[in-house]
Amino acid sequence: MHNPHERTVNFHVPYLVDETLREGIERTALPIKLEAKITLLKQMIDAGLRDFIVGCGPEKPDVWHRANQECDSKNFPGNTKLSFIILLNCWETAFNHFSEYKNHKNWIEKTTFSFGMITYKEKDKTFEKAITAFKNIGATHFKASILNNFRNGISEKSLTTMCDQIDHAASLGVKIIRINDSLGALQPHHTQWLCSRLVSKYPELVFCLHAHNDNGLALANAMQSIQSGFQMVEGSLAGLGNRSGITPIEQIINLCKKNNITLGDDPIDLDKIIIAARNCEQLLLHIPNVYRPVSGLFETDSNFGVLNIPDFLNTNNPKRHFVNDAGLHPETIKQALIKHYPEKTNGTNSQELEWQIINQLRREMESSANDAKTSYQSILNEFLTLYKNKVFTSKQLAQFYIEHT
């Protein structure tokens, strides 16, 4: 059956949400200073992003606080939107934090409180209690996450269970529904079936998909969700998030740009987003993924010479060329001379001489590679030591508590 909501190009997605300062921060095993987080937020705003999830669970809403101050001071655009995730297994702690802002009811009123684990202690009406408590301090905007273990796909039975949760959330005043693929198990054909069904059943609600990348399908699922009618899409800089991460927001923007899919209310500068993604790895103390699509520092590096199929196809993409031993060939030398020393291309050197030069170059490359391997192993060991020795484990947490009680 044809899906009336399916679209592939030339459409608008009203809401683009970044959650680097939630999912990315959760993935970082070492504490990150507030100023580093605000630096990232400023870079994203400068690039055109306007909608941010800025915290989760029991953490103090320090980023939320600073961001609201920046909005009040007119340093951030007036249409900047902030969300905070409230997990029901620790909602009282979060509520106590926000209760301290009774003198800033306007901050509370314009914040979207996104509730997760909404079936937690369902018989005790925990979700209802939490929603009511936040309404009592002035909250008006709510979002709810619908959890499902998609490892066995999706069925009419599991859809019915999800719809029961959606109906419950909507009855409490929730207007935005977030479908969580927290295990990264969805496949695009499941996503298409699920999203199109939900959009048809609940035209009055805003839907988004929280796509994890455990199977390398986060971007594909995120794109499928909006092509199937979802009005909101989420991601994080460099895809940083729990386990294998979530949808890289720069890849969403890049793919949408290529398909004339507009996102949000403001123009987005992809080049600035790419810079922010690279900076994000440094600020959050991650090993840089230099070949990551779109934002990897060396992602456009391309093998030069006879192995260079993109140049053969005349793609004309901006790139930096490198030469390795796999691509050494007399034709490669000829192309290099034409590109860099065209005045030297009139010679009639024999291929035998060219192969001799190639073999000499191979020896130089091998010598350089040995030095590089030594340096790489040293750097890698330092990174592994950093993450092994500087990171608190659950056992250390338990031992610390025992020692101090």
Write out 237-298 in H/E/C secondary structure: HHHCCCCCCECEHHHHHHHHHHCCEEECCCCCCHHHHHHHHHHHHHHCCCCCCCCCCCCCCC
Average pLDDT over residues 221-242: 97
Nearest to 77 by CA among 50, 106, 105, 55: 50
Are β-strands 321-322 and 141-147 bridged in parallel, bridged antiparallel, or unpaired? unpaired
Q: Which helix (H) or strand (E) holds 17?
A: strand 15-18
Please state, rounded to an integer, the average pLDDT across all residues of the chain. 93
Question: pLDDT band at 41, cuts 50/70/90?
Answer: very high
Percent over 90 (pLDDT), the chain: 76
pLDDT at residue 122 tops 80 = yes
CB 137 within 8 A of CB 102: yes
Encode pLDDT of 251-280 as tens digits: 999 999 999 999 999 999 999 999 999 999
First to last CA, the chain: 63
293-318 average pLDDT score = 85
- Positive or negative CA dihedral for 30, 34, 39, 40? positive
For residue 377, pLDDT beyond 80 = yes
Domain 11-283 superfamily per CATH: Aldolase class I (3.20.20.70)
User: What is the structure's pLDDT at 5?
Assistant: 67
Amino acid at 371: D
How do the domains of the chain map onto residue ranges? 11-283, 302-369
Q: 393 is written with which tokens?
A: 């484990």
CA distance 128 to 231: 26
Name the pLDDT band for 153 (thresholds 50, 70, 90): confident
Cα 234 to Cα 107, 159, 262: the distances in Å are 22, 22, 14
Is residue 115 predicted with pLDDT exceeding 60?
yes
Instruction: Compute the CA torsion angle 328, 332, 333, 334 (nearest 10 deg).
Output: 160
Please tell me the pTM assigned to this model. 0.92
User: What does the pLDDT read at residue 1?
Assistant: 45
How far apart, in whole angstroms, are the C-alpha atoms of residue 23 and residue 57?
11
Give the model's pLDDT for residue 290: 92
User: pLDDT tens across 154-197, in order?
Assistant: 999 999 999 999 999 999 999 999 999 999 999 999 999 999 99
What pLDDT score was predicted for residue 158? 92
Q: How confident is the model at residue 148 (pLDDT cuts 50, 70, 90)?
A: confident
What is the average per-residue pLDDT within 87-96? 97
User: Would you say residue 86 has pLDDT above 90?
Assistant: yes
The phi, psi pair for 18, rounded to 5°, reads -100, 140
Would the pLDDT of 345 be above 90? Answer: no
Does residue 165 or residue 327 have the better pLDDT? 165
Report the distance separating Cα 86 and Cα 1, nearest Å.
Answer: 38
Residue reference for tokens 């008006």: 140
How far, CA to CA in Å, does 61 sit from each of 67, 99, 276?
10, 11, 22
Task: Quote the pLDDT of residue 102.
Answer: 85
Kindly tell me if the per-residue pLDDT of 361 is higher than 70. Answer: yes
Residue type, 122: E
Q: Which pLDDT score is estimated for 96?
A: 97
> Tokens for 64?
């939320």
Is pLDDT at 2 greater than 90 in this prediction? Answer: no
